[in-house]
Structure 1
């Protein structure tokens, strides 16, 4: 889906709803923020989240993906002009959500050869005096590969499912929790760069936080959540399912079978393939990825057709909203209930 068309549609929607929210500004990406949904937007909720009036809409997830996966950002390759625009967009959304930077700024900088790269790190202090020193990381990578194999004169690998989708979830969750403040433990929201180059951003941050000796409880990573399964009895899978009780606890906290084990993910060793893994290595704690795509239900991995119009935003909103009470519960339990299985 071309960004210009989505922009025009968005402006029309704002006019129709007489909205005063900010629209996408292609001339200055740092001014882009997620618009507030109107009462007509699709809202997917879960029974577990029924006590909260605030929910995450398919509309806000879609708008994030359409910006990040637009042709203007040219595939968000690390060190490129496109990923700089994506970083400005993320920073501005963190600011709009009143999320504080964890470091002096949101940028956690590192080098990839001669290229400058940076993770974006925001922090929400816990609301429980006894638990606030313990940290939960909620992450996703916002980079992609830039260009791919040319198909029908198109060479931009837009990276909608991989991983503008996961990025949209993290931004929406950051906004949700800064507004509701229903977190007992502290939440660190991280968008990683250079994942496609070998998890370089997450390796950098994991090592950095390890030297700070933070009290990390667990790391939840969102990766490729843009398409649903049609042949499973769960909505998403947890990588490394057998390594910890995270999957069991997620289902317990959600009150439904939200996640399960993907044998295909095991076959492809997806546990080692995303930004959860460096935290597992550095801290020896449950650090796992939540995904609804194990490469069996989407044909456009690292493909120029991985565009915003391929994704199912109702599915995404449903999954993210069902994760809200899970994250709340993870942050509020008196003890750290999610644990690695003993070998």
Structure 2
């Protein structure tokens, strides 16, 4: 995420269930991520679909599960997940183990896509759930978020770790849970590529690298769905999440039709501050010229810790996140299964 000038001075701006985790110990261990969740000592029990361990109805994911993933990714032991650091290496192993656990295959020979445009060795993590339709499976939907953050920064109140809970462990969690759903259920006719990008904070380098690479390989990309800073809810809006680049395509209209409600809305400030160009959707839009948008719930008034040490899991709303992920599942499923490409550029 970058910084730009606002009307008031310098304003930091973003580049902008079938299972339940019954018991986990959120202690990152670089040598032994361990367990199907990548958490050392984790225990995951299968419970009947649609209920949690005590029989209460719930969606595919819930606040407890979301919270466990978030607490791992934004823990102090990962030291802010700076690209090329030991901390982000722990995160990478965790995500790889997670995808593997839910039968999401590596897109390349391994899950790791090594960046060619950054000085430190850094990786995008890329998985795929192949589509079931013999024709539609050759059309691809990319679901992404960046998992890097800014690492160690200036000490504030004795803390120098920029944990990056909202930015962007929140989006990473959403992509991981979507991958879990499709990896387990295989309900997609089009192929789904799940990507966790590195070096977004260095200038969208991970997404620039991968977009160029996939374009050279002539990937038939239908659309790109990016998740960025979804850890706290919007206030005073009649929609749950906004889409950057709202007017560039009919993306929001199709999302809302598939959701059966006003799920995705328009935020004027997103246009004013050029958020469409400031997150990992943009390189794919540039390379492919297809609808590529970011879902976000950061609106400049509901979160005060952007690129600060205060971006901690304690500030996150896990119920909101679980609700958003659960509502996005049928939307992504219908995008993947529609007979024709309904999302089109304006």
Task: Indicate which of 26, 34, 38 corresponds to 2:29.
Answer: 26
Return the structure number with greater helix share. Answer: 1
SS at match of 1:59: helix
Q: Which residue of 2 aligns with 1:48?
A: none
Q: In the alignment, is the contact (CA less than 8 A) between 1:78 and 1:117 conserved in 2? A: yes
Deviations 1:262-296 (A, max 9, x none): 11111221111100000000000000000111222
Give per-residue Cα distances to partners, 1:153-189, cap 9 Å, x unaligned: 1010000000000101111111111111111100000
Partner of 2:320: 315
Secondary structure of the residue aligned to 1:173 is: helix
**Per-residue deviation at 1:112?**
4.9
Task: Give the aligned partner of residue 245 of structure 1.
Answer: 250
TM-score w.r.t. structure 2 length? 0.87
Q: Any stretches of 5+ residues in structure 1 without a counterpart? A: 1-12, 46-54
Partner Cα distance (1:145, 1:112) in 2: 18
Answer whether contact 1:220 1:288 (CA < 8 A) is retained. yes
C-alpha contact (below 8 Å) 2:233/2:317 kept by paired residues: yes
For the 8 Å contact 1:43–1:317, the answer to whether it is kept is: no
* 2:53 aligned with 1:39: yes
TM-score norm. by structure 1 comes to 0.88
> Gaps spanning 5+ residues in structure 2: where?
1-19, 38-42, 46-51
SS in 2 for 1:119: strand
Correspondent of 2:72 among 67, 73, 79:
67
Query: Is the 1:23–1:33 Cα contact (8 Å) retained in structure 2?
Result: no
User: In the aligned structure 1, how far is the partner of 2:118 from the partner of 2:284?
Assistant: 23
> Paired residue for 2:128?
123
Q: 1:32 to 1:194 in 2, by over 3 A?
A: farther
Alpha carbon RMSD of aligned pairs, Å? 2.0
Deviations 1:231-256 (A, max 9, x none): 11110000000000000100000000
* Alignment equivalent of 1:336, drawn from 336, 341, 346: 341
Partner of 2:169: 164
Between 294-303 and 309-318, the greater mean CA deviation after superposition:
294-303
Q: Is the 8 A contact 2:127 2:193 kept in 1?
A: yes
